[in-house]
């Protein structure tokens, strides 16, 4: 016997219509807002006091719940698409991409298999093929959109190790006592995280004074560790400095070794779309796999990382899950995104990028990325002209790192806290070689030279 409330949350009723109208009205206002505050976090006790108890047996109703979100919870979250959000790596989704994210959820789409989501997978694959072509990979390259760079790097390295196992087995050679992955000492923390999950060793290779990993250093590591090295990771835009490794010379070093070349371009590889930066990525076309995060410099909403394999079958062999209830999927040759990474259930997170690219075209993306690179050069020039600042390194992409002469860590901390407290900007201190510094991560097309000059003026 059906109880009256069993279908209340799912039926189309007056209550449902009111809820949908509330949410869509709020979303429309947020998407079209031109003066959204930067906002800032609150202490747990203060949030508890302001929000009160929201979960109970009867529910508080959509109007009250949305009111608490709008007036208490949302203002305690920093607005990552604010043009003066310059910390970490910002996010600046296009209006089309952010709006279409609503469509993805509203459409109840599943993006794990071709059987269940062929149309969504087709659109995602068009984007992946376009990216692969931009990066110089062959026509057969492909992959999947995953949650972020950490999962993308992990999935690529799992495929790399599986390929190494198969290679040694085919040659009749024994597996090493310990698998190893070679990367720069300045590689992203996700590489070390993936290694811990996989229980493999990271061989951190020293870089030059400019922070760039080069082929000769990689070759030395390969000579030392031999067949135990199943992958070499090159970084295409480090998070802290935006440095691009010498991918071409690294590819030369890896060639013939049997190791897999993976390019971690989560932040920086999108800059290859800009004619001003494309030359920095020579050699990426020789990668066995790569990642780039659309939720960074391709202006998609959180969370999306494009993982692309030169030979997708190697990814499929490493990641396809087998179970009786999945046989109807795995016994076909259909392109099922769940087969290409360490996941099964997935939403079609590449669709907002697809819609935005289809709406605006690729040229405006190239212009936006070029604008950020140019702005980084302009503010770096200004910093070098001022005696009170020291530019730590010339920017290659959109990250500008500098020091305020005479400041210690406590000075940077107070300055950063004051900027956010006064809603001027969000710029957190960073560090390099034991020295604290300031760092602009320039990505948002709405960030201006005047914004950055104004922030410098707060560092007397």
Q: Is residue 213 a contact partner of residue 246, using CB atoms and an 8 Å limit?
A: yes
Q: Which of 327, 326, 320 is nearest to 162 (CA)?
A: 320
Question: 160 pLDDT exceeds 60?
Answer: yes
Residue 156's pLDDT is 98
- In sequence order, which residues have a C-beta less than 8 Å from that of residue 2 and are 6 or more positions away? none
Q: How far is CA 116 from the centre of its chain?
A: 26
Q: Which of 150, 106, 99, 152 is nearest to 347 (CA)?
A: 106
Confidence of residue 384 (pLDDT cuts 50, 70, 90): very high
Q: Is residue 302 a contact partner of residue 147, using CB atoms and an 8 Å limit?
A: no
Residue 3's pLDDT is 59
DSSP string, 269-296: GGGGGSTTTGGGGTTGGG-SEEEE-TTT
Domains of the chain plus CATH, in order, are: 14-77 (no CATH), 102-360 (3.40.640.10), 368-456 (3.90.1150.10)
Q: Where are the alpha helices (DSSP H) in 320-360?
A: 327-330, 351-360
Residue 332's pLDDT is 79
Environment class of residue 447 by beta-carbon count within 10 Å: exposed (0-12), middle (13-18) or buried (19+)? buried
The reported pTM is 0.96
Give the model confidence (pLDDT) of 397-417 as tens digits: 999 999 999 999 999 999 999
Q: Is residue 340 a contact partner of residue 319, using CB atoms and an 8 Å limit?
A: yes
Q: Where are the alpha helices (DSSP H) in 135-257?
A: 149-170, 189-198, 215-225, 247-254
Q: Which of 67-81, 128-142, 330-344, 376-390 has the lowest mean pLDDT?
A: 330-344
Average pLDDT of the chain is: 96
**CB burial string 351-383: b at 16+ within 10 A, e below:** bbbbbbbeebeeeebbebbbbbbebbbebbebb
Question: 96 pLDDT exceeds 80?
Answer: yes
Q: Residue 302 is inside which H or E element, if any?
A: none
Residue 1's pLDDT is 47
Across the range 77-85, mean pLDDT stands at: 97
Residue 328's pLDDT is 66
Give the model confidence (pLDDT) of 429-441 as tens digits: 999 999 999 999 9
Confidence of residue 5 (pLDDT cuts 50, 70, 90): confident
Residue 446's pLDDT is 98
Q: Which of 91-95, 180-184, 318-322, 350-354 has the lowest mean pLDDT?
A: 318-322
Environment class of residue 254 by beta-carbon count within 10 Å: exposed (0-12), middle (13-18) or buried (19+)? buried
Give the model confidence (pLDDT) of 325-352 as tens digits: 666 667 777 899 999 999 999 999 999 9
Residue 326's pLDDT is 66
Residue 6's pLDDT is 86
Q: Residue 268 is inside which H or E element, if any?
A: none
């Amino acid at each position: 016997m059906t109880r009256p409330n069993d279908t209340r949350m799912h039926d189309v009723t007056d209550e449902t219509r009111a809820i949908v109208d509330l949410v869509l009205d709020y979303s429309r206002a947020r998407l079209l807002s031109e003066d959204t505050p930067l906002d800032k976090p609150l202490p747990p006790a203060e949030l508890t006091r302001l929000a009160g108890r929201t979960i109970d047996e009867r529910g508080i109703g959509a109007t009250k719940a949305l009111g608490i979100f709008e007036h208490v919870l949302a203002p305690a979250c920093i607005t990552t698409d604010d043009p003066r959000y310059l910390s970490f790596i910002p996010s600046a989704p296009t209006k089309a991409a952010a709006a279409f994210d609503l469509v993805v959820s509203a459409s109840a789409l599943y993006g794990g298999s071709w059987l269940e989501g062929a149309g969504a997978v087709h659109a995602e694959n068009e984007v992946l093929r376009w990216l692969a072509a931009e990066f110089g990979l062959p026509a057969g390259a492909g992959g999947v959109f995953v949650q972020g760079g950490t999962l993308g790097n992990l999935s690529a390295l799992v495929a790399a190790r599986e390929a190494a196992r198969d290679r040694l087995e085919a040659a009749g050679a024994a597996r090493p006592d310990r698998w190893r992955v070679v990367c720069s000492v300045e590689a992203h923390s996700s590489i070390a995280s993936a290694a811990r999950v996989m229980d493999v060793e990271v061989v951190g290779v020293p870089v030059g004074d400019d922070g760039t990993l080069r082929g000769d250093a990689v070759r030395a590591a390969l000579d030392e560790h031999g067949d135990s090295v199943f992958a070499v990771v090159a970084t295409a835009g480090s998070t802290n400095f935006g440095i691009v490794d010498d991918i071409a010379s690294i590819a030369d070093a890896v060639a013939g070794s049997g190791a897999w070349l993976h390019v971690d371009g989560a932040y920086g590889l999108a800059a290859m779309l800009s004619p001003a930066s494309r030359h920095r990525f020579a050699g990426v076309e020789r990668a066995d796999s790569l990642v780039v995060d659309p939720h960074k410099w391709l202006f998609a909403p959180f969370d999306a990382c494009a993982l692309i394999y030169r030979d997708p079958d190697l990814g499929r062999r490493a990641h396809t899950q087998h179970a009786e209830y999945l046989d109807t999927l795995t016994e076909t040759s259909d392109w099922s995104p769940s087969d290409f990474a360490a996941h099964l259930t997935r939403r079609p997170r590449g669709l907002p990028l697809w819609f935005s690219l289809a709406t605006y075209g690729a040229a405006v993306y190239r212009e936006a990325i070029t604008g950020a690179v140019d702005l980084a050069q302009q503010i770096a020039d200004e910093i070098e002209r001022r005696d009170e600042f020291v530019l730590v390194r010339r920017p290659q992409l959109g990250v500008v790192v500098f020091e305020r002469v005479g400041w210690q860590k406590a000075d940077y901390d107070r300055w950063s806290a004051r900027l956010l407290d006064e809603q001027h900007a969000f710029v957190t201190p960073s560090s390099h070689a034991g020295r604290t510094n300031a760092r602009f991560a320039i990505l948002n097309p709405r960030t201006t030279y005047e914004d950055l000059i104004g922030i410098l003026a707060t560092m007397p």
